[in-house]
Structure 1
Amino acid sequence: MDDSRFLQCNRGIMLNMDYIKTMESDYFEMTDPKCFPIKTKGRKQIREQYIKYQFLKLEEA
């Protein structure tokens, strides 16, 4: 998928980062009550990708 809003946090799980409420050390909490785990391998890069996306959204506002 070639859409910067989407993040693969685990095998078979793609999240729309516009709907992530919070990022914890090992999971994302969505705006609905669901939580999705962040895979162990590559966790740092996934977290960095989410943080970068949040900064880009702030710059656009």
Structure 2
Amino acid sequence: MAQLRRDFLIDAEKDGTEIFDAIGAKDKELFAIEDSDQRFYAYNHFGQHPARLINWFDTRMK
């Protein structure tokens, strides 16, 4: 799960952690996007920095 840490529209620390904790999967990871407080930056983050997603898929799609 990815969360914009400084999202000004929600309490990202509290709400993001509650959502993450409620996910029933055993294999999960919470990734905090640090570089901005603008939500649209987060929407574009993985398009601009794809390595983390590529590595995730590489380890699970074999």
Note whether the superposition's TM-score is higher than 0.5. Answer: no
**TM-score scaled by length of structure 2:** 0.29
**TM-score scaled by length of structure 1:** 0.30
Q: Larger radius of gyration, structure 1 or 2?
A: 2
Q: Higher helix proportion, which one?
A: 2
Structure with the larger RCO, 1 or 2 (CA within 8 Å, 6+ apart) = 2
